[in-house]
Amino acid sequence: MGTSAGGTGRHVHDVVSGLVGGGHDVVVLAPPGELDRFDYAGTGAATVALGVSDRPHPVRDAQAVSALRSVCRGADVVHAHGARVGALATLALVGQDVPLVVTLHNASPGGGLAGRVHAVLERVVAGGADLVLGVSADIVETQRRLGASRAELAVIAAPPPPTVTRDRWAVRHDLGIEPRTLLLVTVARLAPQKDLDLLVDAVGEMLQRHDIDVVAVVAGDGPDRERLQARIDSSGVPVRLLGQRSDVADLIAAADAVVSTARWEGQPVGLQEALHAGAAIVATDAGGTGAVVGDAAILVPVGDVASMARALTDVLLHGAVRDDLRSRSIARGGELPTSADALEAALTAYRSVLA
């Protein structure tokens, strides 16, 4: 694997732990920082430092291909995570009779240089992998369109139910809001993919039409923080950027609604935590979001301010709607895949390419 914002690294750690526990010999190749961060050596796997970053670098990438070719020679299966490492592994295995599985955890970032580079990597993966696993249906469809011999949905374990340490009244007190004030909670990195402008615009439109005592809070940090804060200040809408938080479980449990405004998601961890917590969820129908939440959320089109404002209004003004969504969330949370499910899916994938 390459660099990871967290979700990919945790998934790889889960699968590696299960494989080692099942008696399989596993070697993890990853950047030194990721090897330390996720403690792959602690699972009992062998580890090899792989000098790749999130951006192309001719010299380092050539060295990574050489390292992959050397370490992977004679392996039963190679499993690469991400388009960058997937493409490098494809090149490394040319001429070797070693099956390659690639899991793609992200869709294309869109236009510009990054989008063009990602498109090239996707084509290399489609042309070279024996099996491509995508975390959302749109990734799978793209790989099939590009000619992948096999492309299927990946099974990623949901995080375990989080531990809540404070009740909703204590959370509201700590946030400095009144007990009767309605609370919207978003857990997101402050980056373009999460489209938090949609949250600001939707809350503003909702309050233009309805007199609702509400505060929206965003737990997370990122490169868009300064710009978003300036936009919030100029608009005067009750949206607060809380920064990185260690009490996300408490915030979700205290929320009257959990909101996701993302332009694209794979299998969003924050919404999986919200399902476990039995939260009322309003989200954009982005990427794999619908597959994760099932019927346990109100889904609106990506980027649609009016639809998001209407959905938030419906949830906040009607207790029966909130209660129904909460019941659906609890039921859906019990259906989310576990680490055992992800391990069995990985083994099934390996057996299929070996066959």
Candidates 269, 266, 342, 261; CA nearest to 298 is 261
Rounded mean pLDDT of 174-183?
Answer: 94
Q: Which CATH superfamily is domain 7-157+338-354 in?
A: Glycogen Phosphorylase B; (3.40.50.2000)
Q: Among positive and negative, which fits the CA dihedral 99, 108, 64, 50?
A: negative
Let me know: does 87 contact 121? Beta carbons within 8 Å.
yes
State the DSSP H helix or E strand holding residue 284, giving kind and residue range, or none if neither: strand 281-284
- Name the residue with tokens 């690294």: 9
> Does residue 5 register a pLDDT over 90?
no
Q: Is the pLDDT of residue 52 over 80?
A: yes
**How far, in Å, CA of 338 to CA of 50, rounded?**
29
In 3D space, the residue among 262, 102, 253, 257 whose CA is nearest the CA of residue 196 turns out to be 262
Q: Which helix (H) or strand (E) holds 185?
A: strand 182-187
> How distant is the alpha carbon of residue 71 from its chain centre?
29
- Read off the pTM: 0.88
Report the Cα 303 to chain-centroid distance in Å: 19
CA torsion, ordered 15, 191, 118, 270, to nearest 10 deg: 30
Consecutive H or E run containing 47: strand 46-49
pLDDT band at 286 (very low <50, low <70, confident <90, very high): very high
Residues 84-113: pLDDT tens digits?
999 999 999 999 999 999 999 988 877 788
Split at pLDDT 50, 70, 90, the class of 255 is very high
Where are the alpha helices (H) located in the chain, listed in sequence order? 7-21, 32-38, 58-72, 83-92, 112-128, 137-145, 168-175, 196-209, 225-235, 248-254, 269-276, 289-293, 305-317, 319-333, 339-354
- The predicted structure's pLDDT at residue 110: 74
Structure tokens at 190: 């402050």
Percentage of the chain lying above the pLDDT 70 cut: 100
Question: Does residue 355 carry a pLDDT above 90?
Answer: no
**Confidence at residue 160, expressed as pLDDT on a 0 to 100 scale:** 86
Question: Left, alpha or beta for 191 (phi > 0: left; psi -120 to 50: alpha)?
Answer: beta
- Cα 253 from Cα 164, distance rounded (Å): 7
Q: Looking at domain 168-333, which of 3.30.365.10, 3.20.20.70, 3.40.50.2000, 3.40.50.720 is its CATH number? A: 3.40.50.2000
DSSP letter, residue 184: E
Rounded mean pLDDT, 257-284: 95
Angle CA(195)–CA(197)–CA(202) in degrees, nearest 5? 110
Is it the case that residue 186 has pLDDT exceeding 90?
yes
Q: What digits encode the pLDDT tens for the residues 293-350?
A: 999 999 999 999 999 999 999 999 999 999 999 999 999 999 999 999 999 999 999 9
Band of residue 285 on the pLDDT scale cut at 50, 70, 90: very high
230: part of which helix (H) or strand (E)?
Answer: helix 225-235
> How many Å apart are CA 33 and CA 103, to the nearest integer?
21
**Token pair in block for residue 118:** 């990602």
User: Would you say the CATH fold of 168-333 matches that of 7-157+338-354?
Assistant: yes
Beta bridge partners of 101: 79, 131
What does the pLDDT average to over 44-67?
89
3-state secondary structure of 212: coil
Share of the chain above pLDDT 90, in %: 88
Query: Considering the chain, what is the average pLDDT of its residues?
Result: 94
Question: Distance between CA 19 and CA 257 in Å, rounded?
Answer: 38
Question: Residue 264 is encoded by which pair of tokens?
Answer: 């694209």
∠ CA 49-350-292, rounded to 5°: 90
Integer Cα distance of 200 and 237 in angstroms: 7
* Residue 235 pLDDT > 80: yes
Question: What is the per-residue pLDDT across 135-171, written as a single tens digit (0 to 9) for each?
Answer: 999 999 999 999 999 999 999 999 888 899 999 999 9
Domains of the chain, by residue range, sit at 7-157+338-354, 168-333
* Separation between Cα atoms, residue 338 and residue 334, nearest integer Å: 10
* Nearest residue to 140 via CA among 155, 160, 157, 162: 155
Query: Looking at the predicted structure, is the pLDDT value of residue 59 above 90?
Result: no
Q: What share of the chain is helix, strand, coil (3-state, %, to 5)?
A: 50, 15, 35
User: 34 and 3 in contact (C-beta within 8 Å)?
Assistant: yes
> Which run of H or E residues covers position 96?
none
